A = this chain, B = another copy of it.
Amino acid sequence: MNEDEKFMHVALAEAQKAYEKDEVPIGAIIVSNNKIIARAHNQVELLNDSTAHAEILALTTAFQFLGSKYLPEATLYVTIEPCLMCSGALYWSKIGEIVFGAKDDKNSYRRCTAENSPFHPKTSVRGGILSDECAALIKEFFKNKR
């Protein structure tokens, strides 16, 4: 298992926690200097806040932990491709890297950005890490909802 997979497994464990609480199962962690400094999962239902996505909660924790409003040296691992709101938040954070699991053709930032990247020019973005596992959890969740 490589580094990316190792960290994505931790994000997946967060997503699993969300699943068990009947939240849309998306998890995110932030890594700095090879250390996990933030872990979060979707808490929209618990917080009664439609903006309480895993990425936003992880960012807030990381800002507080590092005492910095920018995260140029950090990497976000998130199980599902970020939505427009989270992409905009990641832009402001100037985070160094974004690594996502499965693509999301319906709700990701791509729903309205066309060719223009919403991310900071210095942020590198890559996806497809443990994509099948990340997607399977979401599929299972929505299958049970129908």
A residues engaging B (CB < 8 A)? Answer: 44-45, 47-51, 56, 59-60, 63-64, 67-70, 83-89, 91-94, 109, 111-114, 116-118
Contacts and interface: CB of A to CB of B under 8 A. Distances in A.
Given A50-B69, A112-B118, A116-B114, A83 B88 contact: yes
A67 B47 CA distance: 9
Q: How many copies of this chain does the complex contain?
A: 2
B60 A49 contact: yes
B63 A93 contact: no
Chain A facing B: main interface SS: helix
Nearest to A111: B116
B48 A69 contact: yes
Contacts of A83: 88, 92
Given A48-B63, A84-B84, A85-B85, 9 more contacts: A45-B69, A47-B63, A48-B67, A49-B63, A50-B92, A84-B91, A85-B87, A85-B88, A85-B89
Contacts of A63: 47-50
Contacts of A117: 112
A87 B109 CA distance: 11
Nearest to A44: B69
Given A60-B49, A118-B112, A84 B88 contact: yes
